[in-house]
Amino acid sequence: VSATTTETPKKRQAAGGTRDRGFVDEMRAVAMKLHTRDQAKEGEKTSESPPVSKWEPSVEGYLRFLVDSKLVYDTLETIVQKAAYPSYAEFRSTGLERSEKLAKDLEWFKDQGHTIPEPSSVGASYAKYLEELSEKDPQAFICHFYNVYFAHTAGGRMIGRKVAEKILDNKELEFYKWDGDLSQLLQNVRDKLNRVASSAKHGFSPELFVPHLLQSWSREEKDHCLEETEKSFKYSGSILRLILS
Ligand code: HEM
């Protein structure tokens, strides 16, 4: 079942009104401010580039974006498998994984006669950065993890629809389909992020008793995670711009 028709910004905000307001709300607030006004109504930045509605994408540019995105998702998905920090293991098999979906999409483009490019230096440098960060700075790494997966389900999907309208005869790629109810998958990951950042707040409950999670993040560690948001926007923004290259 494709979840693309069930998760809407309205529902997302409605969910925000009732759910447990944990650290994820802080991460979201910082991210929303880094949008421009034309990207999202909570955005506070002024835009320098044209709004998505005015984009004139090319298939070649879009392929560069998809290839670099796949490299980033491959990297994130390998990092949580390896789990250099035990808390990363919480983020295995969330249902948000995109690597296999992108592999299918790239196969489809190939079958259509397109040449699939090698990853560019933009994606390669982000992948390298993520690998390094994941081994030495778990709070900063989690910031990227959150932003990459959640951005794709919000603005990323909107961009996908617009690009498909303009150059793919409205074909919906696998990249924009999730198995199961997307709202629920996102909520499960929000709960896990909240738990990893502040498990101690939840007190003792046997099913949440994971020794390495008992230590909640200090205010400094939380702020450090939030401060990384700008870098996340910088890297993901440059990968998005490949669509127009
Ligand atoms: C959410 C647009 C780029 C991170 C959103 C929302 C929109 C949006 C419309 C939904 C707001 C709502 O819930 O009502 C865009 C557009 C972008 C863009 C048009 C670029 C052209 C980015 C980038 C990042 C990012 C580069 C960071 C890597 C997020 C996050 C959310 C979000 C974390 C919150 C998602 C959630 O609450 O589930 N964006 N965005 N966005 N965006 Fe973006």
Tokens matching residue 182: 């997307």
Q: What is the DSSP string of 207-219?
A: GG--GGGSSPPPH
Residue 99 resides in a domain: yes
Of residues 9, 3, 11, the one with CA closest to residue 155: 9
Residue-wise pLDDT tens digits, 219-244: 999 999 999 999 999 999 999 999 99
Residue-wise pLDDT tens digits, 137-146: 999 999 999 9
Centroid of ligand 1 to alpha carbon of 59 (angstroms): 23
What CATH number corresponds to the domain at position 17?
1.20.910.10
- The model's pTM is 0.90
Q: How far is CA 6 from the centre of its chain?
A: 18
Centroid of ligand 1 to alpha carbon of 111 (angstroms): 31
**What is the domain count for the chain?**
1
Residue 165 resides in a domain: yes
Centroid of ligand 1 to alpha carbon of 201 (angstroms): 28
Domain range for 18: 9-244
Are the C-beta atoms of 228 and 209 separated by less than 8 Å? no
> Among 11, 32, 122, 157, which is best to mutate for testing ligand 1, by the most ligand atoms less than 8 A from CB?
32
Centroid of ligand 1 to alpha carbon of 39 (angstroms): 8
Are the C-beta atoms of 195 and 90 separated by less than 8 Å? yes
Residue 180 resides in a domain: yes
Q: In a 10 Å sphere around its CB, with 0-12 CB exposed, 13-18 middle and 19+ buried, how is residue 206 labelled?
A: exposed
Residue 153 resides in a domain: yes
Centroid of ligand 1 to alpha carbon of 207 (angstroms): 32
Residue 35 resides in a domain: yes
Residue-wise pLDDT tens digits, 78-135: 999 999 999 999 999 999 999 999 999 999 999 999 999 999 999 999 999 999 999 9
CA atoms in the 13 A half-sphere facing the CB of 34: 20
* Nearest ligand 1 atom to alpha carbon 144: 28
Asked if residue 206 has pLDDT above 80, the reply is no
Question: What is the model's pLDDT at position 47?
Answer: 87
Residue partners of 143: CB distance under 8 A and separation at least 6:
27, 225, 226, 228, 229, 232
List pocket residues of ligand 1, CB cut-off 6 Å: 9, 12-13, 28, 31, 35, 39-40, 52, 147, 150-151, 154-155, 158, 186, 232-233, 236-237, 240
Report d(CA 242, CA 245) in Å as an integer: 5
Q: Of all protein residues, whose CA lies closest to atom 32 belonging to ligand 1?
A: 151
Asked if residue 17 has pLDDT above 90, the reply is no
Residue 3 resides in a domain: no
Residue 4 resides in a domain: no
C-alpha distances in angstroms, 25 versus 4, 197, 228? Answer: 23, 12, 15
Q: What is the ipTM of this complex?
A: 0.96
Residue 62 resides in a domain: yes
Residues of the chain above pLDDT 70, percent = 85
Are the C-beta atoms of 137 and 83 separated by less than 8 Å? no
Residue-wise pLDDT tens digits, 144-160: 999 999 999 999 999 99
Cβ atoms < 10 Å from Cβ of 163: 20
Centroid of ligand 1 to alpha carbon of 70 (angstroms): 19
